[in-house]
Amino acid sequence: MTFVVGENCIKCKHTDCVEVCPVDCFYEGPNFLVIHPDECIDCALCEPECPADAIFSEDELPEDQQVFLELNAELAETWPNITELKPAPADAEEWNGVPDKLKLLER
């Protein structure tokens, strides 16, 4: 099983989760983070660290977030690994909770 970064991370991209990951399984895109499902050890340390509540256990992934399971796997293969905390985008809080952000995902 793996953890999955969901839609609310888009344009929020806080990296608090990255800093606690013991296996460095986070990958960074222009405005979104993903978890590599083959590297995640299901330790659950990242989930409570996410200020945007955008990380889910695969077995607790909401129905409307199911597309993100495949999206995390796909993008983790092409995006660079991230292992250290970075400042969140200046407007991150303005995007927290905004619905329907998938169309804003930058690849």
Cβ atoms of 22 and 83 within 8 Å: the answer is no
CA distance 5 to 91: 19
Is residue 91, in this structure, part of any structural domain at all? no
Asked whether residue 51 is assigned to any structural domain, the reply reads yes
**What range defines the domain where residue 74 resides?**
3-86
Q: What is the pLDDT of residues 14-69, one digit of tens each?
A: 999 999 999 999 999 999 999 999 999 999 999 999 999 999 999 999 999 999 99
**Average pLDDT of 3-15?**
98
Q: 24 φ, ψ to 5°?
A: 50, 55
Q: Are 21 and 28 in contact (CB under 8 A)?
A: no
Domains: count for the chain:
1
Q: What is the CATH number of the domain that holds 47?
A: 3.30.70.20
